[in-house]
Amino acid sequence: MDSTQELENTYHFDLYRRLPVTLVKGKGIYVWDSKGDKYLDFLSGIAVNALGHSHPAIIKSIRIQSQKLIHTSNIYYTVPQARLAKLLCGLSGYERAFFCNSGLEANEAAIKLARKIGNKKGKKGPIVSFTGGFHGRSLASISMGSEKLQNGFGPLPDGFQKLPFNDLRAAKENINNETIAVFVEAVQGEGGVIPADKDFITGLQQHCKDHDVLLIFDEIQTGFGRTGNLFGFMHYGVKPDIITVAKALGGGFPIGAVLTSEEISKGFEYGDHGTTFGGNPLACNVAETVVTTIINKELIGNAQKLGTYMLGRLEKLSRKLPIIKEVRGLGLMVGIELNVPCRPIMLKMLERGFLVNCTAEKTIRLLPPLIVRKREIDSLIKNLYRVLSREKI
């Protein structure tokens, strides 16, 4: 244990099961620890570092904007916020943007907006979410999440209901004219990298439309090219009423947003919601840089192409290794479900110089930067095979 780890263990809340490594530097898809050891990063700060580490465009954006204006509050107009709002609305097809600091804050804003609209319409029903979903760790958002996240935090807010994921029949039986909104993910990341079925999403959208229910897509993890499309919902031929975004939006700099139509945005009135730091000039300038780089460098296409390649290689691997139960994913959001707990595998991959993640207890989650190359995927798969082939079921 190095001195940083000792300080952390002494003074910080004991909330994280940190891996035994202290990272000190990153460049591209690589990071280095305090001992000088080098790692290939196939986690990207949990789908955040879409451009990898220390991307020159991000560094330049931070340097230039920080010399001009960092923070003002939302009492005043600022150029970067206005520019980013226009950019995101133009790319997404929505008409209004609200900026905040994280995915959790974006989801909280969407919950409040949906509740305000529902109350105006006299609706008495719940906001619906789905088993396996993850929308943050506030009291409201854990009410839409798993029981594991809820334990010990009751009483939780009323007005939430969970239904089985990918079960259109259950959705139709429970969602009605009194339902306020439905939260769904195109791919459940924390739930084990489980893509939504197309029939489920298209049927869900039509049912919500028929019953005047707001359809909200949580695009926190799937947004900005991760799935091989700009947003996850675009794979399904639908357009949600509201989407929430964060993570890759800032490329490592904290920022979140809610995107919606002009009409729905008017559900909020002056003073209904707000933020001190959200949409500050520095965050918005960085986010504009990140999004334009993703578009201009055609990284969405790279995610689609190399995601298909990686899934194909892993599916071949699964036919050789009975320890692999299933390979699934969309773009560069890939899950390898094992027949054994995956944390020991994660640690062995760390020893071999790879950062990967274990989610839903038995699923290895791979979320490389969108700049990843084929040779780096090949290296990962070669080492993963060597680790998994030695494991006993």
Residues classed as catalytic: 134, 218, 247
Sequence-separated (6 or more) residues with CB below 8 Å from residue 48: 247, 248, 250, 251, 252
d(CA 298, CA 292): 10
User: 3-state class of 198 per DSSP?
Assistant: helix
d(CA 289, CA 64): 12
Cβ–Cβ < 8 Å for 393, 340: yes
User: 3-state class of 344 per DSSP?
Assistant: helix
Sequence-separated (6 or more) residues with CB below 8 Å from residue 86: none
273 DSSP assignment: S
Q: Is 391 left (phi over 0), alpha (psi -120 to 50) or beta?
A: beta
First to last CA, the chain: 31
Position of tokens 């809820």? 150
d(CA 50, CA 250): 9
Cβ–Cβ < 8 Å for 159, 147: no
d(CA 222, CA 258): 14
Q: Is 113 exposed, middle or buried (0-12, 13-18, 19+ CB in 10 A)?
A: buried
What are the contacts of 259-262 at 24+ separation with CB within 8 A?
A: 259/88, 259/89, 259/92, 259/94, 259/96, 259/97, 260/94, 260/95, 260/96, 260/113, 261/94, 261/95, 261/96, 262/95, 262/96
